[in-house]
Chain A
Amino acid sequence: MKVSFKVNGKSETVEVSADTPLLWVLRDTLGMTGTKFGCGKALCGACTVHLNGVAVRSCQTQIGAVAGQNVTTIEGLGGDHKVQRAWEALDVPQCGYCQPGQMMSASALLSMNKNPSDQDIDAFMSGNLCRCGTYPRIRAAIKAAAKMS
C-alpha cells in the first residue's frame, strides 16, 4: 500500500505492505539508518523515534498506523539538540549503537518533564538497554541537558 507521512518535517510517500514496521521503512526504504534494530519486540529501545512528539518503538509501529502523522528520528534532532550537546559534552556513547534510541527517549522525557529526578529518569529510560553500561553518563547527560536552553 501507499503510505504518506512526515519524517523530520519532510513529506514522504512509501509503497510497502501495511504491516511493515516503521523501523524498516526508515532504514531500508528511506535509507535513514540512524534508527537501530535491536530486538524486534520493543524490549530494548534501540529503535525509539517520536510519533507526534511521543517516544514509540518503531519496531512495533506498523507503517499503516503512521499515515498522515509526524515522525521524528535521530537525524531530525538536528545535531544541535540539547540532548545531543549534552551527550557530546559527556562523551556518553561507547559502541554507540543504542544511543540514538537513548537520545530519542531522553528528548521525549525532557519535552514532558523539564527537570527529571533520578526516579523520573529510571522510570522513563528503563526501556532503553545499553550493553556497554553507559547508564551513569546517560543519567548525568539528561540532567545536564535539562539545564541547557
Chain B
Amino acid sequence: MEKIVKNEARRDFLKVSGSAAGGLALAFYLPTARMAQAADGGSPNAWVKIASDNTVTVMVARSEMGQDVYTSMPMLVAEELEVDINSVKVEFAPPAEVYINSLLGGQITGGSTSVRDGWEKLRKAGASARMMLVAAAADNWGVDASQCSAANGTIKGPGGKSATYGSVAAKAATMEVPKEVPLKPASQFKVVGNTKQKRLDTAAKVRGTAQFGIDTVVPGMKFAAVAMAPMIGGKIISYDDTRAKSMPGVHAVVEYSRGVAVVADSYWTAKKAVATLDPQYDAGPNADLDMTSLWSKMSDASNSAGAVFRESGNADAGLANAAKMITGEYRLPFQSHSPMEPQNTTAHVTADKAVIITPTQFQQLIPHVVGGAVGLKPEQVEVQTTFLGGGFGRRVEVDYAIDAAEISKAAGGIPVKMVWSREQDMMHDSYRPAGIYKFTAGVDANGKLQALKFKSTSPSISSRLFPSIVKDGIDPFAVEGIDNFPYMADAGLNFSYVMHDTGVQVGYWRGVSHNLNAVALECFIDELAKAAGADPIQYRIDMLDMGSTKHQWSGLSAGVPVGARMKRVLEEVRKKSGFGKRMPAGKGQGVAVMEGYNSVIAIVADVTVDSGYDVTIDKITTVVDGGTLVHPDQALAQIQGSINMGQGVGMISEITVKNGAVQQDNFDGYRAVRINETPKSMDVHFLKSDSTPGGLGEPATAVIVPALANAIHAACGKRVRTFPALPENVAAG
C-alpha cells in the first residue's frame, strides 16, 4: 500500500505583531493564561507559594538548560523573602503574562537575560511577599507591621510573638499588595553573591532523577519515531507502511505536516518500524544546494550595497586620506546547536484539550502554535516545561512540539512521546548563520585607525521568527557584536549589513551574532595592531571610545560605550596572562575583548601550532566584568562552558550542506570539544563590581574564537580567514 503525504507547505507559525521598543523588546505580547492560585496555603504573588506546612515554593519562569536559573532566580526571591534558599522548592512556571521577560517581550529564555530581567523583579517579588506575610501576622496580633520583623521563614512581633510563614500564608494572600517595596542595599546581601552557594538541581542531576523532556511518562503513553525528508525544505511524497503495520507492538502509522510517524508500544519498535517505510522524497527547493554554490552566491551578495546600521564621520573621505589601507575578510560556517538531549515532546491532544510536556525555551508560544495546528484555542493547551538537556537557542524553536501534537491527534488522541534520533536532530536544526565579514580600514602613518568600513553578509534569523523587529533591511540580531563598536569615536565609520538567504534555515545560537561580527572584528583589530607594529592590548586600549554615545541598535548589549570597563579587563588580562612575553617558536598569545549582554570580557589564549598547522591550546586566561554576580560559582561555570563551546565552533565544528541536506548527522561528522581537547589551564577572573548583573550565559562563546585565531597568527604567522581553524584553514591563511 502506498500513500501520498499531503503537499502541505510548512506553516509560517510565527506571526508576531508589535514593534521594537525600549531597546530590543520583541513586543511579543500574546494573550496568556492568568496565574493559577495554590490550593493549599497562599500565594502572595505569582512567584511564591507558601504552604501551611511552611514549604516555600518559588516559581521559575525561565527554562533550566544548564545556565542555573533553577538556583540563581530563587536566590533573588529568597534574598528578600527571608527564607533559607536551600529549603525552597522550585517549580517551572506555566505560560502566563506575569512571567514575560521584559527584556525580550515574551516568556522566552534567551539573550542572557534571565538574571538581568529578574534582578529587580524577583527581589521585589520576594520583598512584597514578605511584607504581606508580616502584615498578616501583625494584623493577627493587632500590632503595627513596623513592630515586626521576618527572618528565616518566621515573623517575630512584640512581646515574643512568633509566627511561621505557613501559619499566615493563606491570610497573607488576601492582604493588600504593597505599593512601595524597598530593597536591601548590596551591603546586606546574604544570599546574592554567596560564593559557597550550591546549585539546587545538582542532587537530582547526579542521581539521574532530574526529569528531562525525554524522561516523561504519562499513563497510556505510546512512543513515536518519525521519518522526515533529509533535505532542507524537502518532503516525503510516498512511503510503504505494509511491513511497519504488521510489526508486533506497532499501534499506528500516521502522517503529519512534515513527515510520517510510527506510534508503538516502545521507542525501539517505533524506530525499527520507521526504518521499513522506504520513504521517497521530493527534495524541494534546495535540491542542488551545496557549499560551493552557497559561498559563491553569498560572495556575490557581499558585493552589493547593504543597509547601513552605524555611520559616523565620513568613512570614504577617511579612507581617501589614509596613509595606508588595510583590508580583511573572514568566513564563518553554519553551526548546529546539537544539545545532548535530542528534540522530543510528549503530547496528548483530545477533542477539547492538549497537554504538551516539553523541553522548551519558549513556552508562551506553544499554546498558540499547537492550538493552531490541532484546532484548539490557545487556552485549551496546557504546557509543562521540563528540565532541558541543553538548549543553546535550539529550543526557542517550537517545531518539535507541533510535530508531537499533530502525531498525538492523528493517532487518535492518545498520549504520545515523540523522540527524534540524533541524526534528525542534527539535520533538522535551525543553524547558526554562516556569513562573510569584510573590513576596509584607513590608518595614519602611525597605524592608527582613521576610517573603517564593515559589511556583513549573512542570513537573517529574525526575518523568520520575529519579522516585526526587522526594519529597513536590518535585523537587530544580525548586527549585534559590532553595532556597539567600542573604538575610535572620531573615526569615519560605515557599517552595513547585507541580508542574504541561503536556503538553510537559521536560528538563534548561543551568542547569536556576537559569534559572527565580534569574532571578525576582533580578528581584524589584531591585523591592524600587527600592521602598526603595536602591542595588541595597548593598541586596543589607546583606541577605546571613552565617551557616552548611545548606539542605535544596542540589542541586548549595554547600548552605551563601555570604554572604561574594556580598559579594566584588558589591563587585568595583560597582567594575569603575562601578555607580551617572548614566546618560543611555534607558540603565540592572542587577545580579544568584547562587550555583550552588558558583560565585558577579555581573553588571552596561549597556543602551540605545529608544522602541520595543528593547534594545541596551552592556556586560556579570562577576565570578566559581569557586574554583580548573583551566584558566583555558576557565573564561573557559564564562562568555563562558554569557552568550551566557543573553542568548538572556532576550531573544529562546522555544518555543511550537499544536495540540499546537511552532511553531518552525528557527533562523528559534527565534532564537539571533548575532555582531551579541553585546555588543562583555564583561569577565569571576575572583576569586583557593584553594577547591575550582566548576562553571562553567552558572551564568552564569542570572545574565545578571535583570541584563539589571533594566538594562531602570533604562533605561526597564518591569519585564519575561514573558520573553523582546522589545519587546512590555518595553512591557507
Checking B199, B208, B269 against A100 with a beta-carbon cut-off of 8 angstroms, the contacting residue is B208
Interfacial residues of chain A within 52-96, with CB under 8 A of chain B in the complex: 73-75, 79, 84, 87-88, 91-96
- Chain A residue nearest to B340 (CB atoms) is A97
Nearest CB in chain A: distance from B135 CB, A: 37
> A133 contacts which of B198, B206, B387, B640 (Cβ < 8 Å)?
B640
A9 interface hit (Cβ, 8 Å): no
A28 near B268 with CB under 8 A, answer yes
15 contacts between A and B (CB under 8 A): A21-B268, A24-B268, A33-B208, A39-B422, A39-B667, A40-B423, A75-B208, A91-B202, A93-B199, A96-B202, A97-B341, A127-B674, A131-B339, A132-B641, A139-B678
Given contacts A39-B667, A128-B675, A132-B641, 16 further A-B contacts (CB under 8 A): A28-B268, A35-B208, A38-B422, A40-B421, A40-B422, A40-B666, A43-B668, A44-B422, A84-B206, A84-B207, A94-B637, A96-B66, A96-B387, A122-B676, A123-B676, A137-B637
Cα–Cα, bound, A20→B249 (Å): 13
The size bracket of the interface on A is 35 or more
Bound-complex Cα distance A112 to B210 (A): 29
**Residue ID in chain A nearest B701 by CB atoms:** A133
B641-696, CB < 8 A from A: 641-645, 666-668, 672-676, 678, 680, 682
Query: Is B212 among interface residues, defined by CB-CB distance under 8 A?
Result: yes
The verdict on A138 contacting chain B, using a C-beta distance below 8 Å, is yes
Interface: B375 (CB within 8 A): no
Question: Could you say which residues of chain A place their CB within 8 Å of the CB of B415?
Answer: none
Alpha-carbon distance between A21 and B678 when the two chains are bound, in angstroms: 31
Contact of A95 among B66, B214, B272, B666 (CB under 8 A): B66
Q: A28-B267, A91-B199, A95-B390 are in contact. Are A130 and B340 (CB under 8 A)?
A: yes
CB of B203 to closest CB in A, whole Å: 6
Tell me how far the C-beta of B699 lies from the nearest C-beta in chain A, rounded to whole angstroms.
14
Q: Smallest Cβ distance from A21 to chain B, in angstroms?
A: 7
Q: Is the CB of B208 within 8 A of A41?
A: no
Partner of B640, one of A33, A38, A136: A136
Contact A96 B642 (CB under 8 A): no
* Closest-CB distance, B110 to chain A (whole angstroms): 15
Task: Indicate with 1 or 0, residue by residue over B199-222, a CB within 8 angstroms of chain A CB atoms.
Answer: 101111111111110110100000
- Decide: A131 near B422, CB < 8 A? Known: A75-B208, A93-B202, A137-B640: no
Of the candidates A31, A73, A97, A122, which one forms a contact with B389 in the assembled complex, judged by CB atoms under 8 Å apart?
Answer: A97
B391: chain A residues within 8 A (beta carbon)? 95
B266 contacts the other chain (Cβ, under 8 Å)? yes
What B residues does A20 contact at CB under 8 A? 266, 268
- In the assembled complex, B621 has its CB within 8 A of some CB on chain A: no
CB < 8 Å: which of B202, B388, B644, B666 contacts A39?
Answer: B666
Q: How far apart are the CA atoms of A18 and B660 in the complex, in Å?
A: 37
Q: B283-314 interface mask toward A, CB cutoff 8 Å, 1 = contact, 0 = none?
A: 00000000000000000000000000000000
Whether A95 and B202, one on each chain, are in contact in the complex, defined by CB atoms closer than 8 angstroms, is no
CA separation between A125 and B210, bound complex, in Å?
Answer: 23
In order of increasing CB-CB distance, the 10 nearest A-B pairs are A34-B208, A133-B644, A97-B389, A94-B66, A96-B205, A95-B66, A133-B641, A74-B208, A122-B676, A33-B215
Interface residues of B in 330-349 (CB under 8 A from A): 338-342
Closest CB-CB distance, A30 to chain B, in whole Å?
11
In the bound assembly, the distance between CA atoms of A139 and B673 in angstroms comes to: 14
Chain A residues with CB under 8 Å of B65's CB are 95
Cβ contact within 8 Å between B202 and A131? no
B419 proximal to A (CB < 8 A): yes
The CA of A131 and the CA of B203, in the complex, are separated in Å by 20
Can you list, as one digit per residue, whether each of B374-387 has a CB less than 8 Å from chain A (1) or not (0)?
A: 00000000000001
Q: Is the CB of A118 within 8 A of B267?
A: no
**A79 and B207 contact, Cβ closer than 8 Å, known pairs A36-B389, A91-B202:** yes
B710 at the interface (CB under 8 A from A): no
- A41-B422, A44-B340, A134-B641 given; A87·B202 CB < 8 A: yes
Query: Looking at the complex, which one of A28, A35, A126 makes contact with B675 (CB distance below 8 Å)?
Result: A126
Contact A37 B214 (CB under 8 A): yes
CB proximity of B396 to chain A, nearest CB, Å: 15
A103 within 8 A of B: yes
**Residues 246-275 of chain B: 1 if any A CB is under 8 Å from the residue's CB, otherwise 0?**
000000000000000000001111001000
Residue of B nearest to A44 (CB): B667
Q: Which of B66, B68, B211, B642 has the most CB of A within 10 A?
A: B66
Query: Across the interface, do B676 and A126 meet the contact criterion of CB distance under 8 Å?
Result: yes
Q: How many angstroms between the C-alpha atoms of A112 and B30 in the bound complex?
A: 56
Partner of A93, one of B206, B209, B267, B388: B206
Instruction: Identify the closest chain A residue to B208 (Cβ).
Output: A34
Closest to A121 in B: B675
Which B residues lie within 8 Å of A36 (CB)?
A: 212, 214, 340-341, 389
B392 at the A/B interface (Cβ < 8 Å)?
A: yes
Q: CA–CA, A127 to B676, complex, Å?
A: 10
For A36, A79, A123, A127, which residue has the most chain B Cβ atoms within 10 angstroms? Answer: A36
Instruction: Find chain B residues with CB under 8 A from A39 CB.
Output: 422, 666-667
| B101 in contact (CB, < 8 A) | no
Is the beta-carbon distance between A38 and B340 smaller than 8 angstroms? yes
Considering the complex, give the chain A residue whose CB is closest to the CB of B337.
Answer: A131
A75 CA to B204 CA, complexed, in Å: 11
Q: In chain B, what residue has the closest Cβ to A86?
A: B206
Q: Once bound together, how far apart are the Cα atoms of A88 and B208, in whole Å?
A: 12
**In the complex, which residues of chain A have a beta carbon less than 8 angstroms from the beta carbon of B419?**
37
- Which residues of chain A are within 8 angstroms of B64 by Cβ–Cβ distance? 95
